[in-house]
Amino acid sequence: MRAATIHGPYDIRVEDVPDAHPTEPGDAVVQVLRSCVCGTDLWAYRGDSQRRPGQRLGHEFLGTVTDTGPDVTTLRPGDLVLAPFAWSDGSCAPCVDGLPTSCVNGGLFGAVGADGGQGEAVRVPYADTTLVRLPADAASDGRLLNAILALSDVMGTGYHAAVSADVHPGTSVAVIGDGAVGLCAVLAARLLGAEQIIALGCHPARLDIARAFGATDVVTPRGEAAVTALRELTDGHGTHATIEAVGTRESMQTALRATRPGGTIGWVGAPHGNTEALDPMTLFMHNITLRGGLAPTRRYIDELLPRVLDGTLDPSPVFDTSMPLESTPAAYHAMDTRAALKPVITPGG
Q: Say what the pLDDT of residue 281 is.
A: 87
Q: How confident is residue 271, by pLDDT bands cut at 50, 70 and 90?
A: confident
Task: From 187, 190, 300, 168, select the one nearest 241 (Cα to Cα).
Answer: 168
Instruction: Please tell me the CATH code under which domain 2-153+296-346 is placed.
Output: 3.90.180.10
Contact 214, 220 (CB under 8 A): no
Residue 274: is its pLDDT beyond 60?
no
Q: What is the pLDDT of residues 24-83, one digit of tens each?
A: 999 999 999 999 999 999 999 998 888 899 999 999 999 999 999 999 999 999 999 999
Percent of the chain with pLDDT over 90: 91
Q: How confident is residue 282, by pLDDT bands cut at 50, 70 and 90?
A: confident
What counts of helices (H) and strands (E) characterise the chain? Answer: 12, 18
Domain with CATH 3.90.180.10 in the chain: 2-153+296-346
* CA 312 to each of CA 12, 159, 297: distance values in angstroms, whole numbers, following the listed order: 37, 15, 19
Domain with CATH 3.40.50.720 in the chain: 157-292
| Least confident among 184-188, 253-257, 296-300, 311-315 | 253-257
Q: How confident is residue 277, by pLDDT bands cut at 50, 70 and 90?
A: low
Q: Output 270 or 141, whichever has higher pLDDT.
A: 141
Instruction: Please tell me the CATH code under which domain 157-292 is placed.
Output: 3.40.50.720
Q: What is the pLDDT of residues 91-135, one digit of tens each?
A: 999 999 999 999 999 999 999 999 999 999 999 999 999 999 999
Strands in the chain per DSSP E: 2-8, 11-16, 28-36, 55-56, 61-68, 80-83, 86-87, 107-108, 121-124, 132-133, 172-176, 196-200, 217-219, 239-244, 259-267, 289-292, 321-324, 343-346
